[in-house]
Structure 1
Amino acid sequence: MSNGLTPRQQARAENLARIKDLALAQLASGGAAELSLRAIARELNIVSSAIYRYYPGRDELITDLVIDAYDDLAEHLLAALETRRGPRRHWIDACLAMREWAIDQPHRFALIYGSAIPGYFAPEETIESAARVPACFFAAAPDAQAPAQSHPIGRELRRQLGVTAAAFDSDADAATVLAQVTAFAQIVGMLTLELNGHFVGGFEPADDLYAAVIEREADALGL
């Protein structure tokens, strides 16, 4: 069946896919800082100038890879949330799915949640895809209720929490949104520590630790 592309468009799409595959291989072996368009051109057996017909520079390629990673992770999370279950089970499913994806593709997890890439600043076009991931966690626990605050929430933080709630179409109060953001940050932080080997010698494997943490966060969210 025709995909609606002309032969030229099809060839370009195939070359873009090959470029991104080779870039992902570079990420897996050396990290984003080592990403090189010239090295990719050599792998494709083309002159280095030809690759710039696809990407003007390294940053544009990284941006494409970042958007792809966010979107792929979001789709993985959404698939895990398709089953009809209660809010607590949905939250746990989302957390487990995120760890599954991160362990399977640590280089892509590091690309979007790891250390900043020297000289690279993510453009605004990455925001929509980036927001899809926490949106899955907000959707997984729509009835979250945070415990009473032990200290007041300041005016600026309250404003920021309101903006965040609106972005995720949530009518939760500031304390609950703060608990949701904290829980998401906890999950990302746990995975970052695990993937960087910080649990070796203490929590190895970290399955039980991770399970305990996500149960604890579910309690904190009142699920």
Structure 2
Amino acid sequence: MTGTPRERARAQTMGEIVRIGREHLAVHGAAALSLRAVARDLGVVSSAVYRYVKNRDELLTLLLVSGYDEIGDAVDAAVAAAPEDDPRAQFLALGRAVRTWALAEPATYALLFGSPVPGYAAPDERTSVPGTRVPTAMLRLCAGALAAGRLTLPDKSEEISPALAEGLQGIRDQLGIDLPDEALTRGVLVWTSLFGRVSFEVFGQFGPDAFGDPAALFELHLAALADELGLDERS
């Protein structure tokens, strides 16, 4: 860790606050998070912890950014470990990394992708970039696949509204990618479908037996999503 001793000590304390906050999140839920309780487990008086985190909303924001970065790091590592010349394998690795992380961190996953916390609004300027790391990775993967001739586009593109066309252009400009409208709209569909599928499993919506083999079911669903994206099988 770089920086002055004071900066290193502050970073270490902030890391401990996030760690304890995530433990409390798992036990008590987001709505019941308390800085006083975090301070107690940290071993300091409540006034001391306010020097690092000013209120509960700030703690929630820290937990959001930490969670988004953690799942983003897991996805990036999985994609990097997949064959560089096989975009479909990279997408499958991405999907598996999302599911693996979500099942290992259900409480943090619920904070990121579950019901909103009453009275809390995540600040866009701090959460939008880390919060879109996974779909960004997927769309950049698709752009690379298209450039390599490994992404099949629909035979006929559907007409879209001017407002949607402007929104899709905003995605291109923000991410610096070159994907046609039909690829972007399918990308949004697959992104939301992937997280919806994972959410059903994390939140127990498949029932107590989860169809007997939820991992095998996920692989079938993931392959279908790769097909929907238009990612070709390696020949």
- Choose which of 36, 39, 59 in structure 2 pairs with 1:38: 36
**1:96 CA drift (Å):** 0.7
Amino acid corresponding to residue 203 of structure 1 in structure 2: F
Contact (CA 8 Å) 1:180, 1:221: kept in 2 or not?
Answer: yes
Please point out which of 174, 182, 190 is paired with 2:197. Answer: 190
**Distance in 2 separating the partners of 1:4 and 1:162:** 40
8 Å CA contact 1:94, 1:140 repeated in 2: no
- The within-5 A match list for 1:1-223 is 3-6=2-5, 8-82=6-80, 83=82, 84-123=84-123, 124-142=125-143, 143=146, 144-148=151-155, 151-200=158-207, 201-223=209-231
CA distance in 1, matches of 2:94, 2:85: 12
- Contact 2:157–2:182 (CA<8 Å) still a contact in 1? no
SS of the equivalent of 2:132 reads helix
In the alignment, the residues of structure 1 paired with residue 152 and residue 186 of structure 2 have an alpha-carbon distance, to the nearest angstrom, of 8
Residue 51 of structure 2 aligns to which amino acid in structure 1? R
- Secondary structure in 1 matching 2:198: helix
Whole-angstrom distance in 2 between the partners of 1:19 and 1:127: 22
Please report how far the alpha carbon of residue 5 of structure 1 lies from its aligned counterpart in structure 2 after TM superposition: 2.3
Instruction: State the distance in 2 between where 1:115 and 1:50 align.
Output: 31
Give 1:168 shift. Answer: 2.3
Q: Percent of counterpart pairs with the same letter?
A: 34
Taking the aligned partners of 1:204 and 1:121, their CA distance within structure 2 comes to: 38
The answer on whether the counterparts of 1:138 and 1:180 sit within 8 Å (CA) in structure 2 is yes
Deviations 1:61-106 (A, max 9, x none): 1111111111111111111111324111111111011111111111
Deviation, 1:117, is 0.9
The AA in structure 1 aligned to 2:187 is Q
Q: How many residues align?
A: 221
Deviation per CA, 1:11-58, whole angstroms, max 9, x where unpaired? 322222221111000111122111110111222232222211111101
More divergent stretch after superposition (77-86 vs 87-96): 77-86
CA contact 2:158–2:182 (8 Å) conserved in 1 = no
Contact 1:59 1:120 in 2 (8 A): yes
Counterpart amino acid of 2:137? C
Retained in 2: the 8 A contact 1:19–1:40?
A: yes
Question: Within 1, Cα distance between the matches of 2:47 and 2:210?
Answer: 49
Q: Alpha-carbon deviations, 1:174-204, whole Å to 9, x = none?
A: 1110000110100010111111101124524
Between the aligned partners of 1:131 and 1:105, the Cα distance in structure 2 is: 18
| Contact 2:61–2:127, Cα closer than 8 Å, also in 1 | yes
SS of the residue 1:152 aligns to: coil
